[in-house]
Amino acid sequence: MLSTIPDIVAQIKLNTRIITADSAAKEMTDNKGMLVDVREPAEREQIVAAGSINIPRGLLEMKMLELEKDPQRPIYLHCASGVRAIFAAEQLTRVGYENVTVISCPMPILSQTNFL
C-alpha cells in the first residue's frame, strides 16, 4: 500500500523540531544558525527571507555537506508551505546534522522577520 504525503509528513513531524519565525529569529541571534530556503530559485525570487541561503530540496544534502561541515550548527529550514522543509529536515538528520529545525510560518510573515 502506498503512503500519502500527509501521512508521511505526519510521521516525520513526530521527530522534527518545528518553531515559528519569531522564535527562530530570536534563537539565530544567539546561536549563529543557518537559515536555508529549500524552495526552487524561481519561487524565492518572489519573496526572500533576509539572511537566507537558497538550496533547493533536491540538492540539499549534497550542497549542505559542502557548505557546512559542523554537524552541530543549528540549521533552520523553510519553504512556502512547510512540507518541503519537513522532508528536508528528515534528510539532513539522516546525513548527520544534529540541530535541524523547521520554521512553520507562511512566507509573508517570514520575509518580514530579520534573520541575521
Domain assignment of residue 19, yes or no: yes
**Helices within 45-115 (DSSP H only):** 60-67, 83-95, 107-111
pLDDT score recorded for residue 87? 94
CATH number of the domain to which 104 belongs: 3.40.250.10
Domain assignment of residue 51, yes or no: yes
User: For the whole model, what pTM was predicted?
Assistant: 0.85
Mean pLDDT across the stretch 33-59? 86
Residue 110 to residues 2, 46, 103, Cα–Cα distance (Å)? 34, 13, 9
Quote the CA–CA distance of 8 and 19 in Å, as a whole number: 19
Domain assignment of residue 116, yes or no: no
Domain of 45, in residue numbers: 5-111
Mean pLDDT across the stretch 78-87? 88
Domain assignment of residue 20, yes or no: yes
Q: In total, how many domains does the chain have?
A: 1
Residue 69 to residues 73, 93, 113, Cα–Cα distance (Å)? 9, 14, 27
The answer to whether the beta carbons of residues 87 and 5 sit under 8 Å apart is: no
